[in-house]
Chain A
Amino acid sequence: MTERVVVAHELSRTFGAFVAVDRVSFEVERGEVFGFLGSNGAGKTTTIRMLCGLLTPSSGRGEVLGLDIARQSAAIKQRIGYMSQRFSLYTDLTVDENLRFWGGTYGLSGQRLAERADWAVLAAGLGERRRTLVRELPSGFRQRLALGCALLHEPPIVFLDEPTGGVDPEARRRFWDLIDELAGAGTTVFVTTHYMDEAERCHRVALMHAGRLLALDSVPSLKRLFAPGSVVEVRCSEPAAAGRILDGEPAVREAALFGSVLHVVLADAAGVATVRDRLGSAGIGAAVVTPIEPSLEDVFIHVIASAEGAPSPGVRAGNPGTLGADSRLPTLDVRTVGRGQ
């Protein structure tokens, strides 16, 4: 019997007329690495802040560790770890001073605080740098130290809000190794991200868009939304034009630009021939059409398109990296190109 540590039921939050989170429901089980994937403004942070007792829900209800998020926020704060999107360490204090301070805010002291601080230093890989000012640390170390600070009181669940913003890929990988370690030891990790590769490492992923939760499943299950062989990649000299041509074709469900490559979602695997014919007759020569393993981003675009109710939503650009600090990494910034044409 698995234990549900987070329960959200029809959770909503409005700011004036703006609906930041719109009737979101989900459950998180103990020991799970639960990912919240969505672009900026999708409602990820608002959801996490409600769960951490930092924001009261406008309607709906939620429980964290069996405690009501609207009424028992003080008790929740005692038992969870939270790492905010904004940098949470004091850069003008040393590693040790930060650990002592954050430990102190959870009421830790003496032997226990010393042991936990040692653990955090070890986890962050900061062995020799305990007396270094945090502002002198590389960002990867800071991020792991911030995670350590959020875990000093050994909470059974930790909420991480875009924890790896502005951190290089190697440091992100190490950060996620730490998350895997925690989950292995039974800590539930609730993490928001807009990095696809990070979402792939989650046990289950919730896709959020415009305040709504559009899909929630394990990564392989999410990818099974597509029939085998129904996602193809088109490489040609004019991918944008090719996308416009394929749009409106009955066999094509979606066409999305990924840089200079076009990803096409077909109704079924037989559509590959149609794509080749159509591009050939339109005079876009030398188009190479190959079936590919769908990426999480294909899923994301597909799910949003379906949710917006357009059977053929036109060419969309899955534009990698405009939001992330590192443009080589796939991040989510879904925008529509050529709609209504």
Chain B
Amino acid sequence: MIRRTLAIAVKELLQLRRDWRIAFTLIGMPMVLVLIYGYALSFDVQHVRLAVVDQDGSRASREAADAFVESGYFDLVRNPHDLRGLDAMFGDGRVQAALVVPSGYGRDLAARRPTMLQFVLDGSDSQTATTVLAYATQIVAAVSPLVRVDGRPGPAVPAPLVWYNPDLASSRFLVPGLVAFILMITSVIATALAVVREKERGTMESLRATPLVAIELLVGKTLPYLLMGSAAAAGSLALAWGLFDVPIRGSFFWLAVVTELYLAGGLGWGILISTLADTQQVAFQVSLLSSMLPTMLLSGFIFPISSMPVALQWITHLVPARYFLVALRAIILKGAGPEHWWLQAVGLVIYGGIVLALATVRTVRSL
């Protein structure tokens, strides 16, 4: 039993060693992708083109405008005297945000009366707008507790205290998701192709005539890829830590446990695909689509699950990255122990269990 399983695993590793392209795709590719996307993917907004309409002309109003520029997020590009023309500037994108200081602002401030600044935002890119509004609120709060940004009721400005990611760098949020995303794609594709390749070359027929049973074939085929996937995960997280300041605060042991559970599910899915596809081309396309889209859209990697329609939220429970991401972020960003994310681990175990059981049943049938 173990001997036959081992024979398959060793053979698989020998083939991987001989075909360096596959080995590179498995280990190198995830790291390269983390590198590329890690730099490209960012929600952080900088160099927002700002227009300041100073209708007050006081020292206080100039201080308010300076506070925006000095924050580093805004570039002052226009200084119109009134509100006319602002619309056109927004229209062609010369300006993304405008700060309007109403007349009497300086006087109100000096008299310690609550006062207002108007902040106009281009809302067509809601993601950026939300981020910029958050910056603006923070800046204004720093100028004076008496000032509030127009549109926000009440004079009280909350003093934000952001834990785990104090400068709200989106890389800390996105890069772990990226790691999950890339690991899923490579593990599914690698295993699916590894099995379908045997079908295409005709060696599967000979394997079927040997006393090999499904579970031996399955374990023997997945073990080497689990190993490769683990190496890719370690490399990707090391890159994230080294280049994108993604800390690893939690236990390496639990990180490894959760990662292996996640990989096992992905490999199982790959095997399942391989029992249905007859050519490498079909296997590749099905693997890519079925791993990439759900992991990108329905896992909370980019779009928060809590803001999805309820029906879609249910569907996310079928996406293993959903569980892995919560656990991964909890472990590496918060240093959280299993008592905080055990439910996610259970989700991964259930997913992996079902997928591997289905894969076994399908392989038994085809053997």
Contacts and interface: CB of A to CB of B under 8 A. Distances in A.
B14 A107 contact: no
Interface stretch (A79-87, A183-191, A223-231): A79-87
Given A92-B19, A100-B7, A105 B205 contact: no
A93 B14 contact: yes
Given A88-B202, A92-B18, A82 B3 contact: no
Contacts of A102: 210
Contacts of B211: 74, 77-78, 105-107
Nearest to A110: B3
A54 B6 contact: no
A52 B207 CA distance: 12
Nearest to B15: A92
A101 interface: yes
A119 interface: no
Contacts of A78: 211
A197 interface: no
A104 B7 contact: yes
Contacts of B10: 100-101, 104
Contact of A84 (B14, B206, B213): B206
Interface in A41-82: 52-54, 74, 77-78, 80, 82
B84 interface: no
A109 interface: yes
A103 B7 CA distance: 8
B212 interface: yes
B209 A97 contact: no
B206 A77 contact: no
A105 B19 contact: no
Contacts of A101: 7-8, 10-11
A26 interface: no
B152 interface: no
A106 B202 contact: no
A105 B212 contact: yes
Contacts of A54: 205, 208-209
A89 B205 CA distance: 11
B224 to A, nearest CB: 13
A89 B202 CA distance: 9
A87 B3 contact: no
Residue picked from B7, B8, B201, most chain A C-beta under 10 Å = B7
B124 interface: no
A133 B203 CA distance: 16
Given A90-B15, A93-B18, A77 B205 contact: no
Contact of A88 (B11, B15, B203, B212): B203
B249 interface: no
Given A107-B3, A109-B3, A93 B11 contact: yes
A105 B4 contact: yes
B15 A93 contact: yes
A91 B7 CA distance: 17
A87 B210 CA distance: 15
Nearest to A79: B211
B209 A84 contact: yes
Nearest to A80: B209
Interface of A: 52-54, 74, 77-78, 80, 82-84, 86-93, 97, 100-107, 109, 133
15 contacts: A54-B205, A54-B209, A74-B213, A77-B210, A78-B211, A80-B209, A83-B206, A84-B206, A90-B203, A92-B15, A92-B19, A93-B18, A104-B11, A105-B211, A133-B18
Given A54-B205, A104-B4, 8 more contacts: A84-B205, A86-B202, A87-B201, A93-B11, A97-B11, A104-B10, A105-B207, A107-B211
Q: Lowest 5 A-B CB distances belong to which pairs?
A: A104-B7, A86-B202, A88-B206, A82-B209, A105-B210
